Amino acid sequence: MFKTLFLKEIRVDFLSRRVIMGLVLCLILIPLGVYIGVRDYRVRWQAYQEAVRLYQDDHKTVQDILYKGGGKGFRPPSPFVFLSQGLDIVLPNVAESPSTPQQKPPVDLRLNNNQGSENLYASFHGPLDLAFMVSVIMTFLAVVFTFSGVSGEKEQGTLRQILGNSVPRPTIILAKAAAQGVMLIGAFLAAAILSFIVLAVHGYALFGPGGIFAETALALVLSILAIGAFINLGLLVSALTRQAVLAFIILLLCWVFLFGVFPRLSVVIAQLASPVKSQQLVLQEKNRLRLENEKARAAEIEKIAESDSNTQEKQDEITAQYRAKLTEAFRVLDRDQTNRQNAQTQLAVNISRLSPVSCYIRPMAEIARTGLMQLELYRQDIGRFGAALDDKVYGQYKEFRQKSGINVGFKGDGSAPAPVFQPNRIRTQDIVKNVLPDAVLLFAFSLLFFSGAYVAFIRYDVR
């Protein structure tokens, strides 16, 4: 009986041409998005290699860093950008140390982003990556496939005929869910296979060391869970309504809310629940600390000048002490600001997990190494690079002061090799650990929606 109902659902959908429409969209748009992502990665990779080559050719020694613009650490682009562009367009792609040798440790590296789009209009609508395809196209197709699954058959009278043959209701709803899942997920997997071919043609290694199979397989699992959640949501709404049009309207509103409204609403809620100072206020606070520090330093130097005529050495000592106090105050302020921002971001992430769309989009960025984990790892790499600059370059520079235009000078070996920035790669197991809660939530959403559809259909009035 299940097999008969299953084949009947597939036959009906083929006759309505929904399957053909979904298959065509998948086979065209998903491989196209993968190709565009691969092309974009190649362009960025070439630009990254050229920037690193030019920098290393011009900064071979410590002295080069001191007098040729400072040290730089470049962030390599992610080869998985075709899965999700995520935060890639706003992530810093270069960290620069001050170009002046007067800078004393600890060195504050400036994080810059000089990435740009070939076409500015593309920034209005975002990339055509896999995360977009699934979160928008595939979930909308799930709505189109399922809105009439129960209410539509009730209007046509076919549901009453089926139940008139003493067919168990659980078998009917299971057959509907299985048929819709096989058709839509099957179309998606067919497009995924074609995308693998595109990747292989462009030189991506699928298996072995450096292969992309683990990341892409994890992305496909998340995609299937997200599609399944919306299939079951469609069945739930269809089983709760009496008219197919009403079911479609409700599902469309749910889709718009879950995709477009709730993720943004979660950010607003997080901002209200855990407020963070703006960067402008932080800069004002630093200016206030700087003025107070300078005022206190000037007052102490003035006292020394009144009591001792030979005060240059003492003034230098006092200046160094107040500089250290100001540096520590800035460090505390920045650390507090970073902690508050991280707490607010994590709160927004947790709130947004009430939407299956959010449980899919952010993890896809983490899998693609264009998410929050990548930003944190880059900051850690930059911290190690800054420590190396402090130790081998700026820490070797004596206390700088002006005496008739003469510098005290560099006490280390200026011909020593310059520190080189070494970017690290996020381990796949760390990514799995990070996205596992979202995968579990997606499965829970799917199970919850199907359970609701199951209960609603058991009590559904077909008259």
Q: Which has the closest alpha carbon to 214: 31, 367, 363, 436? A: 367
Name the strand (E) or helix (H) holding 295.
Answer: helix 279-307
Could you tell me if residue 152 is inside a domain?
A: yes
DSSP letters for 117-139: -SSTTHHHH----HHHIIIIIIH
Residues 343 and 372: their CA atoms lie apart, in Å, by: 13
Q: Answer yes or no: is 242 within a domain.
A: yes
In whole angstroms, give the CA distance from residue 71 to residue 103: 12
13 contacts 175 by C-beta, under 8 angstroms:
no
The structure tokens listed for 362 are 């952010």
What residue ranges in 249-347 does DSSP mark as E strands? none
Q: What is the pLDDT of residue 429?
A: 92
Range 201-208 contact pairs with CB under 8 angstroms and sequence separation of 24 or more: 202/35, 202/38, 202/42, 204/38, 204/79
DSSP bridge pairs for 96:
72, 110
Q: Which residue has the tokens 């959640």?
A: 229
* CA–CA gap between residue 26 and residue 134 (Å, rounded): 10
**Which tokens sit at 395?**
């820490």
Tokens 């189109």 — which residue?
A: 144
Q: Which amino acid is at 187?
A: A
Domain membership of residue 172 as a residue range = 1-275+353-463
Chain centroid to Cα 362, Å, comes to 5
Return d(Cα 38, Cα 135) in angstroms, integer.
20
From CA 226, how far away is CA 249, in angstroms rounded?
Answer: 21
pLDDT of residue 410: 58
Largest CA distance in the chain: 110
- Answer whether residue 328 is part of any domain: no
Q: Can you tell me the distance from the alpha carbon of 273 to that of 160, in angstroms, rounded to the nearest whole number? A: 51
φ, ψ dihedrals at 254, nearest 5°:
-60, -45
Confidence at residue 92, expressed as pLDDT on a 0 to 100 scale: 85
What is the number of structural domains in the chain?
Answer: 1
Residue whose C-alpha is closest to residue 145's, from 206, 203, 227, 201: 227
User: Is residue 142 in some structural domain?
Assistant: yes
Name the residue with tokens 């410590």. 62
Averaged pLDDT in 10-residue chunks for the chain of 463 residues: 80 75 87 92 91 89 80 90 88 80 61 66 74 91 87 82 81 90 91 92 83 91 95 93 91 92 92 87 87 85 68 74 82 86 91 93 94 90 85 64 44 75 90 94 96 90 73
Asked if residue 285 belongs to a domain, the reply is no
> Is 47 part of any domain?
yes
CB contact at 8 A, 29 and 132: no
Model pTM score = 0.86
Tokens encoding 22: 């979904």
Query: What does the alpha-carbon distance between residue 442 and residue 338 come to, in Å, rounded to a whole number?
Result: 30
295 falls within a domain = no
Determine the angle formed by the axes of helices 2-15 and 169-201, rounding to 10 degrees: 60
Structure letter (DSSP) for residue 73: E
Q: Is 336 inside any structural domain?
A: no
Dihedral sign of CA atoms 302, 304, 309, 312 in order: negative
The gap from C-alpha 459 to its chain's centroid, in whole angstroms, comes to: 42
**Assigned token pair, 243:** 């008219």
Spatial distance between the Cα atoms of 457 and 449, rounded to a whole number of angstroms? 12
